[in-house]
Amino acid sequence: MTSNVSPSRNPLPREIRETRELARLTQTQAGALVHTTCRTWQQWEAEPGTKNHRAMHAAFWELFTNKIASALPLLEGIDMTIITKAQRRLSHEQALASTRIEGHRPTPEFLVDCEAVVEGTMTRDQARAASLARALAKDKAAKDTAVIAFANAA
């Protein structure tokens, strides 16, 4: 099952567990960070389809990743091929949370690029280049439209 990076998705149990382990927290410590119990955290990490599984709401996931982000090393400049998928996902979840706070709504193309970086099929530099190319193409199209409108008005 492939998960999509989006502002309001529920994380998968393995993502919850990998991220908690990356932060070197126990289930009790992780639960306390988001004001819940160890038992609730265990339910979030339980595999779907089991009687103990309960999906973590996206708001709890965002709160947890925001709280632990400051405790993790900055990923800028680190070779993304040698860190784990959980670390890459956490890096992108944090970046998306920050952009949402500033009012930015990521495009579907940007979210696809983020997921490709998390999956390891695209580097951060390739994702940046793709975003820049899309932005430049959009700017050129807007300029061309303005020039045509000006010429037609004259």
Structural domain includes residue 6: no
The per-residue pLDDT for range 87-116, each reduced to its tens digit, is 777 777 766 666 666 666 777 887 788 788
Structural domain includes residue 8: no
- Give the predicted TM-score (pTM) of the model: 0.47
Domain that holds residue 114: 13-153
Structural domain includes residue 75: yes
Domain count, the chain: 1
Pick from 154, 153, 81: nearest CA to 123: 81
Structural domain includes residue 50: yes
Structural domain includes residue 1: no
The per-residue pLDDT for range 54-86, each reduced to its tens digit, is 999 988 988 888 777 655 544 444 454 556 777
Asked if pLDDT for residue 4 goes beyond 60, the answer is no
The per-residue pLDDT for range 27-61, each reduced to its tens digit, is 988 888 889 999 999 999 999 999 999 999 988 98
CA–CA dist 143, 124 (Å, integer):
28
Q: At what angle do helices 85-101 and 58-69 cross, to 10 degrees?
A: 100
